[in-house]
Amino acid sequence: MNREDNHIDKLLAKWLTHTATPEEIEEIKDWAAQREERLEILETFQKAWKETTAEPVLVNAEEKINEIWSKGVEEKGSNISVWKPFMKYAAAIVLIAATSLALLYMVNGGFFQEPSEGQQRPYVVKENPAGQKTKLYLPDGSIVYLNSASSITYAQGFEGNERRVRLEGEAYFEVAKDKNKPFVVESGPVETTALGTAFNVNAYLGDRELRVSLLEGKVQINKLEEQDKAVTLVPGKEVVVDKNTQKLFQGTVDVDKVIGWKEGKLVFENAGFNEISTKLERWYGVDIQVKGQTPGDWTVTTIYQKQSLKNILIDLTYSKDFAYEINEETVTIIF
């Protein structure tokens, strides 16, 4: 099998397991369009794969091929010759796809909730380290802008009667409309439910506050322990949950403060030293260490857009009395 065939194998395996990017899906479409039988084969292969994959475990590639071959021949009748050129791809595709399903399942350690008897579904985890932001496309067409030091987990294909994701950190959601399948975001003690809308969830584990801000559409917010006390937001409004007291407050959205990060804006509003250092660590992927006494009277209100860490530190020294050293991924602040 040549390098091109191996590349196609991997793309098709990702396509089967719903982990292909939009660009990879376009490449598969172009490959399939080159020969008419490829389109026919892909359609049958996908259907057979779904019907013969009951759970995300490592399977015997040869047995899996035989199952798919049997189903394909049954659907195509006596036209077995159409399938033969495709069989050279089958072993590699099946092995890669099956392994992908197993790894996704094992990495997540199970499920969000207990599945019904005999049903096990694999989950996908997308995680950004500090200093990295990504744009993700979910299986339903929804778009997620995932902030740095954040992760999102969701079921492949969004099977069932809802589209549920779990968020740690911060993300902005542009939800595809589907009245029959609510979109639910789990973030700490809060669930946010939407049918088709745009909203931001800030739920970093170490922060005192959890914030859900609505830009478009309508969302319903529940505390997991108080499902009967839902709060419905309209555009321009937000809910803030104090994690210590579990109290919930409503307010008005400051667009720059809430979603400025999507446009490369690092926003500080009456920020103390601890908030500033935490945001800088997440934004630039560095570790900030302090020498001397940390000031308790810092308040900084400003917006930095697409600035280097060094430029921000230089700017802060104009109004605050400190020195700094940058050594690769470690920043030392000296008071």
Q: Are residues 67 and 84 in the same domain?
A: yes
Residue 281 belongs to some domain of the structure? yes
CATH of the domain at 270: 3.55.50.30
- β-bridge partners, 331: 288, 326
Out of 202, 226, 257, a domain closes at 257
pLDDT for the residue numbered 190: 86
Same domain, 163 and 77: no
Model confidence over 105-139: pLDDT tens digits? 433 433 334 445 555 557 788 888 888 899 988 88
158 and 102 share a domain?
Answer: no
**What is the end-to-end Cα distance of the chain in Å, rounded?**
62
Q: At what angle do helices 3-16 and 22-33 cross, to 10 degrees?
A: 120
Domain boundary (222, 257, 292) is at: 257
Question: Distance (Å, rounded) from C-alpha 172 to C-alpha 203?
Answer: 11
Are residues 318 and 288 part of one domain? yes
Q: Could you tell me if residue 300 is inside a domain?
A: yes
Question: 143: domain CATH number?
Answer: 2.60.120.1440
3 state DSSP class of 193: strand
pLDDT along the chain (335 residues), means of 10: 57 64 74 68 59 43 47 46 46 46 40 45 81 88 90 83 90 89 88 85 87 89 68 88 84 88 90 90 90 84 90 89 88 90
Residue 226 in domain: yes
Q: State the pTM of this model.
A: 0.60
Q: Residues 129, 177: one domain? A: yes
pLDDT at residue number 212: 92
Burial class (CB in 10 A: 0-12, 13-18, 19+), 118: exposed
Closest by CA to 203, choosing from 162, 179, 173, is 173
Please tell me whether residues 238 and 274 are part of one structural domain. no
Say whether both 173 and 274 belong to one domain: no
Residues 104, 35 share a domain: yes
Strand ranges for 119-208 from DSSP E = 123-128, 134-137, 143-146, 150-155, 163-174, 183-187, 190-194, 198-203
The pLDDT of residue 99 is 41
Domain enclosing residue 80, as ranges: 3-108
Q: Do 93 and 59 fall into the same domain? A: yes
One domain, residues 128 and 249: yes
Q: What is the spatial distance between Cα 132 and Cα 283, in angstroms, rounded to a whole number? A: 7
Question: Is the residue at 115 inside a domain?
Answer: no
Measured CA to CA, the distance from residue 36 to residue 88 in angstroms comes to 18
Q: Which pLDDT does position 145 carry in this prediction?
A: 93
Co-location of 239 and 295 in the same domain:
no
Domain end (from 229, 257, 285): 257
| CA–CA dist 146, 262 (Å, integer) | 9
**Is residue 116 in a domain?**
no
pLDDT for residue 38: 66
Same domain, 80 and 48: yes
Our count of domains for the chain comes to: 3
Strands 190-194 and 219-223: antiparallel
Look at residue 323 and tell me if it is in a domain.
Answer: yes
Q: Residue 287 phi/psi, 5° resolution?
A: -110, 120
Asked if the structure places residue 217 within a domain, the reply is yes
Pick from 172, 168, 131: which is nearest to 151 by CA? 168
Q: In this structure, is residue 167 part of a structural domain?
A: yes
